[in-house]
Structure 1
Amino acid sequence: MVTAVYPAPLETSRQVQFAVVVRPILWQMRCKFVQTQMRLLQGSGLMTRTARPILKGTGSAIATAGVLALAATAVPAHAQEQVSEELGNTIVVTAQKREQNVLEVPVAVTAIGDNVLEAAQVNEFEDLTSVSPSLTITAGGSQAGHSIALRGVGTVAFSTAVESSVLVVVDDVALLQAGQAFSSISDPQRVEILRGPQGTLFGKNASAGVVNIVTRDPTDYFTGYGQVSVTDDEQYRAEAALSGPINDAGGFRVSGYWSDYDGYLDNLTTGSTLGGENTWGVRGKLQQEYGAVTFTLTADYGEATDSLLPDTYLRVDRANGANADYDLTGITPGKDNNVVRNNVDRFGDSDQLIASFKADIDLGFATLSSITSYQDWRYDSINDQDGTADAVIRHDTTYNAEQFAQEIRLTSPTDGFFDYIVGLYYSDGTTDRSFIRTSPIPPLKQNWDSAADTTSYAAFAQLGFDISDTTMLTVGGRVNHEKIGVFFQDNRPATPIQYSGSDSETAVTGKIALQQFFDNGLMAFASIATGYKGQAYDVSSGFDQRRADNPIASEDSINYEIGLSGRALGGDAQFQLVGFWTDYDNFQAQGVNAQLLAPQFELTNVGKLRTRGIEFETYYSPTDTLTLFGSAAYVDAQIREFPDAQCYFGQTAAEGCVFDPTINQPVQDLAGEQLGNSPDFKFNMGFDYSQPISQSISLFTRGNYTWQSAVNFSLSQNPRTTQVSYGIANLAVGIEGPEDSWALSVFVNNLFDKAYASRIIDDTNPRNDPFVLTQQLPRNYERYFGARLRFGF
């Protein structure tokens, strides 16, 4: 029998997990609580898997250094040792939809605790790239236009009906649209990033991975905090949380945030400041036990008004009178250019509601879980697309994404040689979009409404077998049936023209993993998993019945991984090393449809991809007051097949662009080229240090540094859209009271004032030859300072 320590009852598991990952506030009280619970468990006989052979050694193996870094950075080192002794070196995670020993997670998963998020100054979803080197985000200028990628693979498409390759989950609720994720990360317990296909447990839109955000649960004692911050560029932010019991068997937690920020880019035409956001949100959780049943009700609502990130001029060639019609008065194109001349301020307004009800029923032989959720996201935007002071092109867009989902899982305990998770899943989602493009140029005008529907039915199972005392085998599979539908109405004619279509598809994904535990405290694993991203409609301008009758085919992937993890330096250092190789077929992207009499660029299955590389994560806590953490990734994300790809403007035959008389288009073959915005190498490293300076005050400092190699933002390999390598450092210094009762700090973001762009676009066309390049500058493209005050009890 493979032996491991497992907290079996749901409530006890939740409390043990909470004790491992919480901040050190009221630490002594929590240690006594954990000790009491462990004695109760041992006395009850519930802990039947008492010790793996490996746990009897000097250090236990781990499946991810990131999860242990969570515990390391969340509590003092001496406290970690105490919990490790009490729990038999067990750390509880939920990355695989069950509360389980991290030794039983044979996947590449990073769990980032709240102290790491604070050290890296992660406040927004897009900031997660500073703590996860395999995660990249391509800016789209608006909340709905951003794309998420893991290991170089993501989805960049104009269509509203195309799934993301990376699924975002918030408190067990899978978001329908990737754009919903781009908001404040408030009251997090941890963020888990699962890399590689996760289709077995998470479904069809997790072909590249999952970002799982877990917020804090209610507590059985009163606790809370409040925090305010201000920056030198006039951002004002506040957040707070309150948690406690409502009776002997239930608790609540209420948290909220508010932020007011005008921005950092100036519109010389209107006199406005752009790039800012005014946002607020509130989340509530209620948890109640009734005998063997635990109910959890969660509601999360937020609103945001943002002045969308405009494109600034990076380069405008003016030699020999070129581009003379561009008004550059007051504008100096370049990487530091933060001014624009737009006749209309870009604007976005969103509101989102996510509600879920979870019931966990302890049946004795297993736990039956039911998760019912509803989400509603609305987003309106105005975009001055031409980027000039003239009224040439304006976009007005409205999104509304709604989804109802129901999941039922039966999860066995893990006190025998065999364990399982089996479940059923249902979701029904709709994304409506209205789009109006106004322009004095008739061919550019657009006015249409659309609706894209998706209904999924799935059954899944994951089984674990103990082959021997030190060897585990995990197998899993999922059958998914999806129905999709589309409605499109072109409102430009006097009598609107309507198009509609529907289709369905059944797909099977699977996984097999083998784990080997060694007496020296190491764990090795090897796995094979398949992924699937469903078929989709190309819902965008130019939609017609041909597109309605011919959805884009589904995208498939297969992933191979090997990993090694464990402890070093007497157990003070922990690490994970993972190698991966993933092949994608029928990759969905914008390409040339060569089958048309008049070929055009649209969403299509362009070919094959391959992404492979090595990922390393570690943390080291040499003393009670110092924790170091870091991670690195080498990712080779390469196109294997992509014929008839779009040429970039000015590309010559010598550079690979040839005219194909069959389709009457200049095209290139991108086989062997790299994916867009995928750095070959990226790393981050950080620290958290505190030192008492009196009996009641400690001095602390924390920070991180992230560096990445050069990237090309253009899939067409345009050499003008390359961002050179760069590194960003963040630092905070402050003082704090005992048991986190209060803290006052000052911080700096982009310490060395390193300018960089989150996207570069070649706007060159026959009307403005030779070259016009624009860029999107992120908030921290230049250095800014701030101060933060926090209090807690």
Structure 2
Amino acid sequence: MHKRILAASACIAALAANAAAQEKSAASGDDLIVVTAQKREQNILDVGATVTAIGGDTLREARILDMRDIAGYVPNLDIREQAPGVLPVITIRGVGLNDFSSTNNPTAGVYIDEVYLSSLGLLTFDFFDLERIEVLKGPQGTLYGRNSTAGAVNFITAKPDFGEATKRLSVSYGNFSTLEVEGVANLPVSDTFAVRLGAKTIRQWEGYYFNRTIDDDIGERNIVLGRAQMRWAPSEAADIILKVDGYSNNSGIGQGAFFGGFDFTNPPTFRCAATAMGMVDPACTSPFGYSDQDGDPFTGDWSAMQFYDARQVGATLRGVFDLGGVELTSVTGFIDHYREAFNDIDASPAVAFEFIPTTDVRQYSQELRLAGASGRFDWLLGGFWSRDHIVVGSTGLADDFFRTRTSGFGDQETDSVAGFVHGEYQLTDALSLIGGLRLTWEEKTYTARVFDDNPFGTSCLISLTCSPGATPPVTLAAADNLKAEDTNLSWKAGLDWKPFESTLFYLSASRGVKSGGFFFGFTTNSASFLPFEPESLISYEAGVKHQTADGALRFSASGFYYDYKDIQSFVRDQASAIPFQRLGNVDEARLFGADLEATFTPPQIEGFTLSAGLGLLDSELGEYVALSGPVPEGNEFPNAPDVTVNMLVRYERPIAAGVNGVIQIDGRYSDATFKDALNTELIAADSFSLWNGRLAAASDDGVWEVAFWAKNIFDKVYKVQGVDLTSLGFGYENYNPPRTFGGTVTVQF
């Protein structure tokens, strides 16, 4: 891996030399990619940070429909799902959340129109009518603040405009009996007032999964999304947008693929020999003698119960006001979210480990920013406040394993206040000094309970004889009004050098902090609810961005080194007589690597575009003590592939009078990854490549388009997540969706 990083460094040096050799030139406006990564509109070539922007056309044409799809278009990005299709966890350059609790905050900050999403449970949503997605890599602690240690993912919705009225209707139908209908209308009411309305529905009548228990498929989808935006610009000095949106998801849910940990022909331990060597043996069984030997991860003998229900409403009010040389921006956000789902953890016919988790989130936030320029100095000053209330619950069904059922809840309130300043000073016409500070105060209050409901009077959790006769419910673990308070400082310092208009070299050092918090999950030890500490990351990064004079080639390259402290992970706690596992902190770790991205549009081949990205990563976790014992220094981070590659090839040309034809192929390669900090071979994922394609014909005036598409063309199956519970006799693995294909008709009028 070290050789790969050195090779990347050599490549970066070569690119930089090539950039320096270019003559000074200005790219045409049509070639510019505008981003708001630094809280103002800028050409992406002027941003001294690693930023990937995915535009609205690419989002629609490549069918980037939910969070997991983003990974195919951004190097050094991995997204795993705790359950098939839900609870995505974003990992950027190896930094991600090693937890599954909705009381925890994502390590990569996710923002929709500048409103921060406070809970892991808020990240399962479908995309539509987006202007672009921006992925920022590295700590974003000064301008973005809360928990942006890994980076930030910004979703920017398409806004109302005061031009002509436009309407777009898109209908797609694909395999698994899937129908998608999306409609968008931009309606200018006057020169100062406009409305944009959008809605989308997804109906999938046949799930990806087949459950032999009920002799039917599972995982069907029934989703409705809507958004209304009103924009009012009463003068040149004011621009105000009110957005109200929401969705309803009443669907089924897929389940994990079973693997066993027992072999009853292997006394005296009866442990499966293959799992002890890090391999899955289909013949190995659960404690109840169940095995699944068909080799198909989309077929199983799961519980008859399966559902995923979620609903959300939200509102955002954004105003930009010119105060006479100073610009005031106000962003007010509100989200009310509820979801519940069914998870068959043991992935077998037994009612052994089945849970129904619930998440209820209500959050409020307010950000105010003042920005201006004075001579060579551009400055930004801001304040941020948020309050979120997260209530999680869990019903556990362990009828066959512990002869009981459990319930529990966690109730967490968080207040966060921050002040921040960011500035750019031009030392010379070509050299700028960048700096920023953010001071954040955060307090979390937490109450939790886990109960043994003992409905049958036979609970093995509260009696070794499994006949306690205790009056239910029995408290297994409790936390009362615990508090976690933290005040921290994030910062950034950097130099941007623009020797030519279309070339940028940059150096930066930055620090980000992810707040501490509380775990919620099934536990029989109250100490599992003790707070874990904040984690911090200092990043050192150098990079170059360049666009050739004719606009044919645009590239960026960067190298980085991370000094990572107090990483939040599951550790062994020996505070009581019996050691137990809880979410705690690992002292230190380090990561380094490189990102390279390029887009090539040769003028000699009109209509041809080639985009490619390469991510290289080397990660090393420090030593710590897990429940199984000491773990030496040197383990790789989970969900942190050494190499990722993404590529998109698009060719458009006239095929008839007034009609253009388009062919597009895009693909992704990911190196092998571990799925836990222990680097357990049993649940590690192999390397894989995934390819998608699209053929389309469209009128050259954009009035209509007919497209045929396929995702995962070669029906590749790869592991998204794995959980090793073979100490209890089983484990499960989640896999990516199978091949999907279909057609889309779009009309615009």
Partner of residue 620, structure 2: 638
Choose which of 525, 537, 540 in structure 2 pairs with 1:560: 540
* Residue 382 of structure 1: aligned partner: 342
**Contact conserved, 1:218 with 1:252, CA < 8 A, in 2?**
yes
Match of 2:114 in 1: 172
State the partner residue of 1:258.
201
Determine if the alignment matches structure 1 residue 587 to structure 2 residue 567. yes
Give the deviation of 1:691 after TM superposition: 1.1
Out of 205, 214, 217, the position equivalent to 1:273 is 217
CA distance in 2, matches of 1:520, 1:429: 44
Partner of 2:142, secondary structure, is: helix
SS in structure 1 opposite 2:71? Answer: helix
Partner of 2:649: 687
Deviation at 1:495, TM superposition (A): 7.7
Question: Aligned-pair distance for 1:105?
Answer: 1.7
Q: 5+ unaligned residues in a row in structure 2: which ranges? A: 1-19, 267-283, 453-471
Q: Aligned partners of 2:158 and 2:411: how far apart in 1? A: 35
**Which residue number corresponds to residue 365 of structure 1?**
325
Distance 1:324 1:283 in 2: 47
Gap change, CA 1:305 and 1:205, over 3 Å in 2: same
**Distance change >3 Å, CA 90–CA 190, structure 1 → 2:** closer
1:289-328 mapped onto 2 (5 Å cutoff):
289-291=233-235, 292-313=237-258, 320=265, 323=285
Which whole-Å CA distance do the structure 2 matches of 1:574 and 1:363 have between them? Answer: 37
Report the Cα offset of residue 228 of structure 1: 1.0
Question: In structure 2, what is the Cα distance between the partners aligned to 1:499 and 1:543?
Answer: 15
1:226, CA displacement in angstroms? 1.1
2:175 alignment partner in structure 1:
232
> Deviation per CA, 1:380-425, whole angstroms, max 9, x where unpaired?
1122232221222321221101111111100114x73001110011
- 1:117 match: secondary structure: helix
Match of 2:98 in 1: 156
Deviation at 1:721, TM superposition (A): 1.7
Name the residue aligned to 2:361.
401
Decide which of 755, 764, 770 is 2:717's aligned counterpart: 755
Cα distance 1:83–1:104, how it changes in 2: closer, same or farther (>3 A)? closer
Q: Give deviations 1:530-577, integer Å, cap 9, x for gaps.
A: 0101121223333766566x4211111100110011024843011000
| Aligned residue identity for 2:227 | R
One-letter code of the match for 1:175? L
* Counterpart secondary structure, 1:504: strand
User: How is 1:631-780 mapped onto 2 (pairs within 5 angstroms)?
Assistant: 631-639=613-621, 641-646=622-627, 666-765=628-727, 768=729, 774-780=732-738
Give the CA RMSD over aligned residues: 2.4
What displacement does 1:485 show?
0.2
SS in 2 for 1:127: helix
Counterpart of 1:35? none
Report what 1:534 is aligned to.
515
CA spacing shift, 1:429–1:311, aligned 2, 3 Å: same
Question: Which residue in the other structure is 2:269 paired with?
Answer: none
Q: Secondary structure of 2:419's partner?
A: strand
1:712 to 1:490, Cα distance in 2 relative to 1, 3 A: closer
Q: Does the 8 A contact of 1:676 with 1:714 survive in 2?
A: yes
Q: TM-score, normalised by structure 2?
A: 0.87
Displacement of 1:763 in angstroms is 3.7
Give the 5 Å matches for 1:76-155.
83-84=29-30, 91-141=33-83, 145-155=87-97
The aligned counterpart of 1:654 is none
Whether the 8 Å contact between 2:67 and 2:124 is mirrored in structure 1 is: yes
In the alignment, does 2:500 pair up with 1:519? Answer: yes
Task: After superposing the two structures, state which structure 1 stretch, 190-199 or 716-725, moved more.
Answer: 716-725
1:58–1:570 CA contact under 8 A, matched in 2: no
Equivalent residue number for residue 422 of structure 1: 381
Letter in 1 for 2:192: A
2:275 is aligned with 1:332? no
Q: Distance in 2 between matches of 1:226 and 1:144?
A: 27
Q: Which residue of 2 aligns with 1:607?
A: 587
Give aligned pairs, total: 686
* Deviation at residue 315 of structure 1 after TM alignment: 6.8
1:11-66 CA-partner distances (Å, limit 9, x unpaired): xxxxxxxxxxxxxxxxxxxxxxxxxxxxxxxxxxxxxxxxxxx9x95545xxxxxx
Contact kept in structure 2, 1:344 and 1:384, CA below 8 Å: no
What is the DSSP-based 3-state SS (H/G/I as helix, E as strand, rest coil) of the residue aligned with 2:523?
Answer: coil
Q: Does 1:434 align with 2:393?
A: yes
Task: Give the secondary structure class of the aligned counterpart of 2:570.
Answer: strand
Indicate how the Cα distance of structure 1 residues 225 and 430 shifts in structure 2: closer, same or farther if over 3 A, else same: same
Q: Identity rate of aligned residues, in percent?
A: 24
Q: Matched residues in 1 for 2:523 and 2:740: separation?
A: 44
Which residue of structure 2 aligns with residue 200 of structure 1? 142
Say which SS state the counterpart of residue 52 (structure 2) adopts.
strand
Letter paired with 2:389 = T
Amino acid at match of 1:778: N
Secondary structure in structure 2 of the residue aligned to 1:182:
coil
Q: Indicate conservation of the 8 Å contact 1:438/1:446, yes or no.
A: yes
**Alpha-carbon spacing, 1:754–1:627, altered in 2? closer, same or farther (3 Å):** same
Q: Tell me the equivalent position of 1:786.
A: 742
- SS of corresponding position for 2:293: coil
Give the Cα separation in 1 of the matches to 2:703 and 2:538. 49
Match of 1:596 among 576, 595, 600: 576
Separation in 1, partners of 2:264, 2:522: 35
Q: Equivalents in 2 of 1:279, 1:185: separation in Å? A: 12
8 Å CA contact 2:509, 2:539 repeated in 1: yes
Q: Which amino acid aligns with 2:245?
A: D
